[in-house]
Chains A and B, each alone.
Chain A
Amino acid sequence: MGEAEAAELAQHLLGGLATDVYLEADRIVIALEPGKLHEAALKLRDHKQLSFRYLSFAGGIDYKDRMDAVYILRSVNHPVVAEMRAQLDREQPVAPTVSDVWSTAGWHERETYDLLGIEFEGHPDLRRILTTSADGVYPLRKDARPHRQQRREWQFEGIAAPRRLPGEGDRGERS
């Protein structure tokens, strides 16, 4: 089964769930409303011919004006890669979890939450995984400046703060 055929099948299977199904750079892109992600994920996984039982990863992309949740699926029977994609609100990115559909999504969603700040509703254990950034700091967001935001004042009483070398600016001034 080729990609075009699979795309047609996916379109047929999802019906009104998907807002758009198209081919781009050797993969099928299935655009969805965030609310319909979970239902579509179940359908794609359990379909006999498509059988997207393997989730490559779940991640996200920050487009400055919106946030996309991206899921790369691989069919077990056919050399077909599909991508589920949902546009989220950038200020309050919330998506339903698919960790009950593919349990591998659990950690991928934790990572996405850690780096991009997408909240996955219903995730059993949504904690930071790679970084220990402060609350509200999501390093992979385009406007994130982790160095700046984590700068702290010298707190030790009785001990002089380290002197700056001539020409050395405040740490916050560097990019």
Chain B
Amino acid sequence: MKFERETGNQKQETDFGSQTIVQETDIGRDQPDLHLEEMVLNMGPQHPSAHGVLRLVLRLDGEMVVSVDPSIGYLHRGFEKLAENRTYLQFFSMLSRLDYLAGFFMEWAYVRCIEGLMEIEPPPRAEYLRVIAGELNRIISHHMAIGDYLLNLGALTPVLWTFRDREDVIDLLELLTGQRMMYNYARAGGVRYDLPDGFEEQCRQFLKRFPARIDEYEELISGNEIFLARSLGMGVISAGQALDFGLSGPNLRASGVAMDLRRHDSYSVYPQLDFDIPVGVNGDSFDRYKCRIEELRQSVRIIEQALDALPGGPVNMRVPPMLRPPAGEIYRAVETGRGEWGNYLVSDGSLRPYRLKMRDSCFVALSTMPKILPGNKVADVVGIAGSLDLIMGAVDR
């Protein structure tokens, strides 16, 4: 092909060459004659913006992405198999290692499954504490998502600003659960600890100053024309596509589908709390970013209401020390910072789960990449991956 182009005075051959090329890769290219040799680039598994250990096999035409094949499993630890070999209680401490940036949601989904099988309802105070822990967790998860997305686009400061405020929330979570990342806080029939002294005060102080910080991020990020040029109209997913792809969380809502499991499933005490669901129109990277920013604000509202409405009473109920849910099957999900995290739990009435299938939204978001990336530039591979907010710990399980 190359040879033909160099001796390009033979018209027929040149035409033939370009025609075959058009059939080969005709994505997003205006001038098929400018075809160059394709290059296969292994992005990852060790890569600065791989969000863990993600390997993308890119076929590039110059800077243009022709096809993407995500290759995952580098972080596969076999959680589903491990769950089958551990008692219900033993498995608690492993859950937050899945999506390690929003570990409490994994525990929450798991205890919801166990509670559903055992047909128990945790006391109301425990539900409120779960909501508080969950929303704090959502805040740090979105912090990471926003900061990392901007880091992928090459901006250094936003990630450090979000990490500064993330530290405050992590301190709060440490007060509440005793851990900074791997909380191990939820228990079947409630939560592990009651509120510690001074938590409410510290939390309210944080909630007071946090909205101003969100405005600060917006000034730095959304007001920047380079960011707008890099995010508006990038990686567009329409509403129909998003549903077809099975996206959830901010990725789905940015496409214009107002589906939030907190409303849709109305689990826990969310029906009693007043909050809005930000919904995008275009489904591009910008809307996904903006949805996360708005959800930060809504999380603040939720935590404030939860602190106000916090009822008294016990934080957990007496359950047998060796959990033995009756035989049955249940699917229950929670809305994490990244979308639907669902557990399908099959119990055979023994001490160990018979089967625990975990449904992860990052896995689904990653599966969309071969469909939305071709035609974009190499730089947008990391940009769009950042806007989809992938966590490989949850993808690989």
Contacts and interface: CB of A to CB of B under 8 A. Distances in A.
Direct contact of A and B (CB under 8 A): yes
Interface of A: 24-27, 53-57, 59, 61-62, 70, 72, 74, 76, 79, 81, 83, 102-107, 111, 115, 129-132, 139-140
Contacts of B80: 115, 140
Interface string B239-278: 0000111111000000001010000111000000000000
Contacts, number: 91
Contacts of B208: none
Contact of A70 (B265, B332, B344): B344
**Main secondary structure on chain A at its contact with chain B?**
mixed
Question: Which 10 A/B pairs are nearest by Cβ-Cβ distance?
Answer: A104-B246, A107-B367, A130-B73, A57-B359, A25-B330, A130-B76, A59-B357, A53-B243, A61-B355, A103-B244
B328 interface: yes
21 contacts: A24-B328, A25-B329, A25-B330, A53-B244, A54-B246, A56-B246, A56-B331, A56-B342, A61-B346, A62-B355, A70-B357, A76-B243, A76-B257, A104-B247, A107-B364, A130-B72, A130-B396, A130-B397, A139-B78, A139-B81, A140-B81
A25 B117 contact: yes
B333 interface: yes
Contacts of A106: 367
A105 B359 CA distance: 12
Contacts of B264: 74, 79
B371 interface: yes
Contacts of B371: 103
A47 to B, nearest CB: 14
A129 B247 CA distance: 19
Interface residues of B, number: 40
A87 B315 CA distance: 41
A144 B386 CA distance: 37
Contacts of B331: 25, 27, 56, 72, 81, 83
A102 B330 contact: no
B340 interface: yes
Interface in B69-90: 72-73, 76, 78, 80-81
Contacts of B248: 54
Contact of B73 (A25, A55, A131): A131
A25 B327 CA distance: 12
Interface string B328-350: 11111100000010101010000
Nearest to A130: B73
A169 B337 CA distance: 46
Contact of B340 (A56, A83, A103): A56
A171 to B, nearest CB: 17
A24 B245 contact: no
Given A59-B344, A61-B355, A103-B371, 14 more contacts: A24-B329, A54-B246, A55-B246, A57-B357, A59-B357, A72-B331, A76-B257, A79-B264, A81-B265, A103-B246, A104-B244, A104-B246, A130-B72, A139-B78
